[in-house]
Chains A and B, each alone.
Chain A
Amino acid sequence: MACKKCVENPVIQLPNSNVNLCKNCFIKYFEKKVNKTIGEYDLIDKKDHIVVACSGGKDSTVLLYLLKKLTEKRKDVKITALAIDEGIKGYRDKSLDFLTNFCKEHKVELNIFSYEKEFGKPLDEILKSYNGVPCSICGVFRRYLLNKKSKELNGNKLATGHNLDDESQSIIMNYFRKNIKLSARLGPITGIIADKRFIRRIKPLYFLTEKEITSYAFLKGFMDKFTECPHDADSYRAQIRDMLNNFEAKYPGTKHSIITSFLEILPVLKEKYKDEQEIKSCKICDEPCSQEICKACQYAEEVVKNFTR
């Protein structure tokens, strides 16, 4: 079956449909979809300085490339790349090498911050004395640095490569764990309240699947040997991901349905939780938090021995 829009050989069948597209038509479709998300949810404003959270993986690499490309003619919008080096040997060091070369080639300023410098030890070392789930402590440190460092770089928005798969997993995780309040922070643009201590997050790849993003990365020649984090296999998210992928294979459209249903109730969630929690400033680092001391500082003092800020 030829491409739906021309006569070329197809390279992809779009998810949840029988539409086949060739390379050029798929690239156009993909970029149009990102542009549409940016337009519909007002993800980019005049004079924005968008800090792009990059890992060297396919999602954030595609995101960085597209944000740079789509804002090429807008002299008022600045794009900067930010990467966090957790200190995972054989994984992050390789992806950051790829990212460094990518940024050089595409002339994007790249800033890398490490757990070792910011918290005293790389993750591989931290996990030797931490008995909890690796993703818990790593996620807290990573989110903390992304927020803090984006502000230090004078960014006013943080773009992340979250896609339809990531978001549908988060929605289901929050349901399963009775954490519905956390879902109020999801969506293509995050933030329940306007607070200068929190940088707003935008997700231009929100409506694209991992499979579409990998196809785009492959066709554009951005493919490195993208690997999975070695600590990811047993995570709760990984189990939800596998469950949803099995459902999707059996009932195509499942993930799209989760997202579209969620977006219908998101305004209600945002309204419900907008005043619920007082945002304090951490007594140690001054970053926003719900308690006296933020979770990152708690972990840093409890888990990272001999830590000094």
Chain B
Amino acid sequence: MKVYIERTDEWKEVNAINVQEIFQKLKINPTTVIVTRNNELITENTKINDNDEVKLISVISGG
């Protein structure tokens, strides 16, 4: 599936069955992002399908 990383503004192709696996494969710290699937917020245990649009939105913002 394609995963969008907001912080670096890029799409990456990832083979994963859930969000935790995406974090592991992309080496992303789970405390630094929220995850949406088809524009709905999801938890880290949520299973995902190949045709889902997954976005990792950074929680860090300068004040």
A residues in contact (CB < 8 Å) with B: 1, 10-13, 15, 20, 23, 55, 57-60, 91, 161, 166, 209-211, 213-215, 218-219, 223, 225-229, 232, 241, 245-246, 248-249
Contacts and interface: CB of A to CB of B under 8 A. Distances in A.
A55 B63 CA distance: 6
Contacts of A223: 57
A13 B19 CA distance: 12
Contacts of A219: 41
A223 B58 CA distance: 11
Interface residues of B, number: 22
B5 interface: no
B51 interface: no
A11 B40 contact: yes
Residue among A12, A23, A57 having the largest count of chain B Cβ atoms under 10 Å: A12
A246 B61 CA distance: 17
B13 to A, nearest CB: 23
Contact of A227 (B33, B43, B61): B61
A152 B42 CA distance: 44
Given A211-B31, A245-B31, A249-B31, A228 B43 contact: no
A178 to B, nearest CB: 24
A226 B34 CA distance: 13
Contact of B63 (A12, A57, A249): A57
Given A11-B41, A245-B29, A249-B30, 7 more contacts: A15-B31, A59-B63, A211-B59, A213-B59, A218-B34, A226-B58, A248-B31
19 contacts: A12-B41, A13-B43, A13-B44, A59-B61, A59-B63, A161-B63, A166-B63, A210-B59, A211-B31, A211-B59, A214-B59, A218-B34, A218-B41, A227-B62, A228-B60, A228-B61, A228-B62, A232-B62, A246-B29
A140 B44 CA distance: 39
